A and B are shown apart, each in its own frame.
Chain A
Amino acid sequence: MAVDRDDVLIRGATAHMVSGIGARAPLGHSEAASGAPRRRAEAAVYGILFSAFMVVVGQLFILAVGRRTDIALAISEPVAATSFSRPDIVDRNGRLLATDLEAPSIFADPGVVLDRDEVVEKLSTVLPDLNASELLRALSDRSRRFVWVRRGVSPGIAQRVHDLGLPGVSFRYELKRAYPGGKMAGHALGYVDVDNRGVAGIEKYIDDKIGVDPVHSAVLSNRPPVRLSLDIGVQHALEDELDDAMRRYHPEGAAGVVLNIKTGEILASSSLPRVDPTWPAQTLNDKRVDRMMGGTYELGSVFKALTLAMALDEGLAKPDTVLDVTKPLEAGRFTVTDMHPSRRPLTVTEVFTHSSNVGAGMLALQAGPEKFRAFLQKAGLLDPLQTEAGPVASPQVPQRWNRVTTITASFGHGIAVAPLQFAAAAATIFNGGKTVHPTFLRKFDAGTADGKPLISAATSHQMAELMRANVIDKDGTGSKADVPGYRVGGKTGTADIASKGGYTSNAVISSFLGAFPTDDPQYLTFVMLFEPKGIADTKGNRTGGTNAAPVTGELIARVAAQLGVAPQLNVVRQ
């Protein structure tokens, strides 16, 4: 445009020289007349160019500042399957329980595969459990460009497949969940699916409440680790002692929990046989169910701790109140008797230490069905319970509370609850009477402020003394749980197992509810053995006092120091 304008100006000048002064005015007038629209046109063109330039500048600015990384991903990964990166799981002291690792996955491109039969045949030599017919069918579909062969294989397997040199078979790295502790705390941790998505346990809780990040390749999570309340030292001790109990008493299964009474933190929870989180199919086996949370059981005499707490708190009896337990208690078509009937009346303390069914039934009847039911409701035993590791099996409670159900529930029959739910209710008894909600997450604001009062602090103290008496009294059923110095208290339980039309005569669930140190209870243990066998050491007995109690004693001797409970040395050195 500038050249044209100059050309016009030069030609104008030439005309001016030729025509002389007289011709000057008309020519100048003509230039002035035609110059204005031209300048407007030029201005418009410059304006358009400037606007276009500003659009380019703006776009560059947006690209520079916005950093739209998804554009690059969309171009480079057109067929990528999405998986999820997950935060690590660590125990209360930061020790690793679960993490993501890169693992090669094998895929095939049917459009590039030359000989489908050869590919399937050769892959089967390295992956013997490969579903050959399904892979052959998938490879036959030439419209597909992506078929998974096997996800999350070991580097060794990947190398062997690579060495086969099959065209159209390639690898991509994906995230795979690894559990360095193996089967440790397998039930609580849960497991993930092939896309690294949480399916059960804490892993599912992470998906639902904490969050995982969808990724197109093996990108590790930047999220902070999820810190659990579990202590793997205590967890190992619990699992080791339960293993030992399995060898000694040959039960069908065993379970146990260690709970911080003040905070509700679960320091260890185990159910044997264990499950390996890397083999989720194991959880489908009924025998490997999480007995702590996944099943409900009639727990037997350990329930008397709740019955007596209610009776003492309601002022229905005092520890030295005498009850006539010499006669059986009639309950409908049943007759309630004691395992070791006493020939004399017993005090309330003795009802506890002798584990008298008749005495517990009498105390519950004094309260009445409504009050007893309301107490159990307030203790959280009649409503469903939810933890971070999943829902706890719903309690099975009597539909109608009458005289019979009140008597049977007083000593832990006719009502079935998950052991963890019972442990939480029992912890309430020793937590100054304030309710305890069990949690698998580390609590940094330790305290009992959020608990609702169930019983008074004085009753809570009385119950701790009763528990201690049951361990140190010569007639107490829990003497084998004592550990010098650690002031262990406890209650035994031996429950008949319900079957069709009644109870089995030759199988029991034996258990021991422990608390220590009883002068100010900090920790609660609950150990259960399912269908233990009588052995020579127990003189053929299968009661909680002969098997679950010594297991608890061994457990507390191992973990008390780890948990920071100092032994009372004057007791040890006497």
Chain B
Amino acid sequence: MRLLNVAAFFFAVASALLLYALNYDTRRLESELQAKERLADRARSDIAVLKAERGTLARPDRIDDLARRLGLGPPKPEQFAYGREVSELNERRGSADGR
């Protein structure tokens, strides 16, 4: 019985130490988790801002203006060609080059 008592005593002390260590470990992990969550929130917020900025920069009216300054515009019907016409054109160019 004495042995049991001594064992129980040491078990209780060991449990207390373990709990103490676990407690601090949990707090540390919790703090790390909160830091990571804050980081993730920050990243999410940054992504949202960047998305909005990209949306603003990609506004069609802005792109339209920039494109027209470069001499670009909506494709005209005469700028279209059938695939076979392009092939024939390439073949004619090839034969003109002597290939």
Residues on A lying within 8 angstroms of B by beta carbon are 2-3, 6, 88, 95-97, 99-102, 178, 180-182, 184, 218-220, 232-233, 235-237, 240, 483-486, 557-559, 561-562, 566-567, 569, 572-573
Contacts and interface: CB of A to CB of B under 8 A. Distances in A.
Interface string B38-67: 000100110011011111101111001000
Contacts of B94: none
B77 A178 contact: no
A514 to B, nearest CB: 16
Given A102-B48, A240-B64, A184 B81 contact: no
A94 to B, nearest CB: 11
A232 B74 contact: no
A240 B65 CA distance: 11
A180 B59 contact: yes
Nearest to B42: A102
A320 B75 CA distance: 38
B87 interface: no
B52 A99 contact: yes
Contacts, number: 78
B5 interface: yes
B60 to A, nearest CB: 3
Contacts of B58: 95
B45 A236 contact: no
Interface string B77-96: 11011100000000000000
Nearest to B58: A95
Nearest to B85: A569
B4 interface: yes
A483 B80 CA distance: 14
Given A2-B4, A240-B61, A567-B80, A561 B55 contact: no
Nearest to A9: B1
Given A240-B61, A569-B80, A569-B82, A100 B56 contact: no
Nearest to B55: A180
A179 to B, nearest CB: 9
B5 A102 contact: no
Given A180-B56, A569-B81, A569-B82, A220 B64 contact: no
Interface string B6-37: 00000000000000000000000000000000
Contacts of B75: 561
Given A2-B1, A101-B48, A240-B64, A484 B77 contact: yes
Given A572-B80, A573-B78, 16 more contacts: A96-B51, A96-B52, A99-B51, A101-B49, A180-B52, A180-B53, A180-B59, A181-B55, A184-B59, A184-B60, A220-B44, A220-B45, A232-B60, A236-B64, A557-B74, A569-B80
B78 A178 contact: no
Contacts of A572: 77-78, 80
B54 A96 contact: yes
B55 A101 contact: no
A112 B8 CA distance: 54
A192 to B, nearest CB: 15
Nearest to B4: A2
What bracket does the count of chain B residues touching chain A fall in? Answer: 20 to 34
A558 B55 contact: no
A279 B32 CA distance: 41
A96 B55 contact: yes
Contacts of B82: 569
A232 B76 CA distance: 20
Nearest to A173: B45
A566 B81 CA distance: 9
A198 to B, nearest CB: 18
15 contacts: A95-B58, A96-B52, A99-B52, A101-B45, A180-B53, A180-B59, A181-B59, A184-B60, A184-B61, A235-B60, A236-B59, A236-B64, A237-B74, A557-B74, A557-B76
Contact of A101 (B5, B52, B64): B52
Contacts of A233: 60
A93 to B, nearest CB: 11
Contacts of A97: 55
A246 to B, nearest CB: 15
B98 to A, nearest CB: 29
Contact of A218 (B45, B51, B54, B61): B45
Contacts of A178: 52
A297 to B, nearest CB: 28
Given A2-B4, A95-B55, A180-B59, A561 B64 contact: no
B28 to A, nearest CB: 17
A241 B5 CA distance: 93
A414 to B, nearest CB: 40
Contact of A569 (B49, B52, B56, B77): B77
Nearest to A485: B77
Contact of B1 (A6, A483, A485, A557): A6
B48 A99 contact: yes
B36 to A, nearest CB: 16
B74 A561 contact: yes
Contacts of B49: 101
3 A-B pairs with least C-beta separation: A180-B55, A236-B60, A485-B77
B29 to A, nearest CB: 13
A559 B78 CA distance: 15
Contacts of B53: 180
Contacts of B78: 572-573
B62 to A, nearest CB: 10
Contacts of A95: 55, 58
Given A2-B5, A102-B48, A567 B77 contact: yes
A219 B64 CA distance: 35
A497 to B, nearest CB: 31
A486 B48 contact: no
Contacts of A88: 51
A499 B80 CA distance: 49
Nearest to B46: A102
